[in-house]
């Protein structure tokens, strides 16, 4: 863990947990609204720098460009990234000016520099968040991974919030196996991998599967890509109609939280690949480098000592994978959002119980937990913000709700 550039204060007005794109968006919007917030907040992240998890993921999966257009970025000026890219037009990719990975990273560094945010990330993980009452006002005691503690008047959770989704059969593998032979995608790093002659089974039909398949094939592997459903193409995670009133009007008019949850599922509709990636994969399929096992799931797997033997549940339709000696399995099965399983929310849920619908907390319109000054960013805020809550566009929508509550005393809890 990097050393802190400054001493930790005993207390702070606002603690922000996580230094990813959501936190960065919140901070620029907050400072734009109220300059005097400078010096009144601290951001916590174990890696000690902004955007490290994002940068790591893009590098580890060798992603060339974003899925979302240039308008979605952390600066309050919606044109800021386009202006920044004027001298680098070949780093905006069709069809809708999708920023290249390097361009986006450089732009974020520019945002951090312009808003003078280089020194506000404290290098520690928040390991526990204990709410308490001080003169009948809500406060939080944050425990950090370096053993220190601090009191925060208000907290924003901007830590991504999701837990890797692992299929049930993984728990039932009885044979011991080398750790690196069965990995969730979050632990796969294509860089430095040599896969010549290996067979890699990738589970999942989303864009991460696509990136990993292309990376594995480029390193000499044969890939089997297994998906519960038919692999299908879609430009964005959710239809752009979800960015404005077109769909959000009905979503906000819906009073039933479970129905809202269903609307979110329908809008995201599981994992999907971009047309560009799927076209690339179909070409590799024709070259025999990848085999698709669609509408298919793993029934069980055992490690023989040298290889995986895998059975699927749909062997009537295609030749079962059982005959293939698989060297590695990668689970591109996404992540789950569940407030009740989130370690940081345990004490908060005990002290301030709240309705949780299919894992998502029912927070107020400012994305504030009931009866305390805890604010939620990212996918956990989806019941209020809609299906794009976890995306870059969601970061702006979320900030638009949280910033007023952080800056107007009339909106503070008594």
Residue ranges in contact with ligand FAD by CB under 6 A: 17-23, 44-47, 52-54, 57, 61, 66-68, 72, 125-126, 158-160, 208, 344, 378, 390-393
CB-nearer residue toward ligand FAD: 19 or 321: 19
CB-nearer residue toward ligand FAD: 130 or 291: 130
Give me the least distance between CB of 119 and ligand FAD, in Å please.
Answer: 17
Q: Using the structure block, give the residue that is written with the tokens 């808003």.
A: 115
Q: What is the dihedral of CA 195, 201, 204, 205, to 10 degrees?
A: 80
CB-nearer residue toward ligand FAD: 231 or 238: 238
Give me the least distance between CB of 235 and ligand FAD, in Å please.
Answer: 11
CB-nearer residue toward ligand FAD: 312 or 379: 379
Q: 154 by DSSP, 3-state: which?
A: strand
Give me the least distance between CB of 157 and ligand FAD, in Å please.
Answer: 9
CB-nearer residue toward ligand FAD: 238 or 301: 238
Q: Using the structure block, give the residue that is written with the tokens 């890797």.
A: 164
| Residues in the chain, overall count | 414
Give me the least distance between CB of 185 and ligand FAD, in Å please.
Answer: 8
| Spatial CB neighbours of 305, under 8 Å, sequence gap ≥ 6 | none
CB-nearer residue toward ligand FAD: 125 or 313: 125
Q: How many CB atoms lie within 10 A of CB 363?
A: 22
| Spatial CB neighbours of 265, under 8 Å, sequence gap ≥ 6 | none
Q: Which residue is nearest to ligand FAD (CB)?
A: 20
Give me the least distance between CB of 41 and ligand FAD, in Å please.
Answer: 14
Give me the least distance between CB of 366 and ligand FAD, in Å please.
Answer: 18
Q: With left for phi above 0 and alpha for psi between -120 and 50, is residue 357 left, alpha or beta?
A: beta
Q: What is the DSSP letter of 321?
A: G
Give me the least distance between CB of 18 and ligand FAD, in Å please.
Answer: 3
CA distance 301 to 293: 16
- The tokens describing 57, both together, are 């993921």
Identify whether 279 is preceded by a cis peptide bond (ω within 30 of 0): no
CA distance 195 to 216: 7
CB-nearer residue toward ligand FAD: 160 or 205: 160
């Amino acid at each position: 863990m990097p050393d802190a550039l400054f001493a930790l204060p005993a207390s702070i007005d606002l603690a922000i947990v996580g230094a990813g794109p959501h936190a960065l968006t919140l901070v620029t919007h907050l400072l734009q609204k109220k300059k005097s917030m400078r010096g009144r907040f601290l951001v916590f992240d174990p890696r000690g720098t902004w955007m490290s998890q994002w940068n790591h993921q893009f590098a580890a999966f060798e992603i060339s460009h974003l899925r979302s257009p240039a308008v979605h970025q952390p600066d309050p000026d919606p044109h800021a990234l386009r202006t920044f890219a004027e001298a680098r037009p070949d780093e905006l990719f069709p069809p809708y000016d999708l920023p290249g990975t390097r361009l986006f990273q450089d732009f974020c560094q520019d945002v951090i520099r312009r808003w003078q945010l280089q020194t506000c990330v404290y290098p520690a993980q928040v390991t526990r968040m204990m709410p308490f009452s001080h003169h009948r006002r809500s406060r939080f005691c944050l425990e950090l991974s370096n053993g220190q503690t601090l009191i925060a008047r208000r907290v924003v959770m901007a830590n991504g919030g999701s837990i890797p989704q692992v299929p049930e059969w993984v728990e039932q593998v009885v044979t011991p196996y080398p750790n690196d032979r069965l990995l969730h995608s979050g632990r796969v790093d294509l860089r430095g991998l040599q896969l010549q002659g290996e067979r890699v089974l990738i589970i999942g039909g989303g864009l991460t599967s696509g990136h990993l398949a292309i990376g594995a094939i480029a390193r000499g592997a044969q890939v089997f890509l297994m998906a519960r459903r038919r692999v299908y193409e879609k430009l964005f995670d959710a239809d752009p109609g979800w960015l404005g009133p077109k769909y959000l009007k009905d979503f906000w008019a819906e009073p039933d939280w479970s129905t809202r949850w269903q609307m979110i599922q329908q809008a995201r509709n599981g994992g999907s690949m971009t047309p560009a990636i799927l076209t690339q994969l179909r070409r590799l399929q024709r070259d025999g480098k990848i085999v698709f096992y669609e509408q298919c799931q793993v029934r069980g797997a055992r490690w023989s000592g040298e290889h995986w033997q895998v059975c699927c549940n749909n062997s009537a339709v295609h030749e079962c994978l059982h005959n293939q000696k698989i060297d590695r399995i990668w689970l591109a099965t996404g992540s789950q959002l569940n407030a009740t399983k989130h370690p940081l929310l345990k004490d908060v849920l005990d002290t301030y119980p709240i309705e949780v619908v299919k894992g998502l907390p029912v927070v107020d319109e400012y994305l504030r937990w009931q009866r305390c000054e805890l604010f939620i960013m990212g996918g956990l805020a989806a019941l209020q913000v809609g299906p794009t809550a976890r995306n870059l566009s969601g970061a702006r929508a979320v900030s638009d709700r949280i910033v007023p509550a952080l800056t107007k005393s009339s909106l503070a809890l008594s």
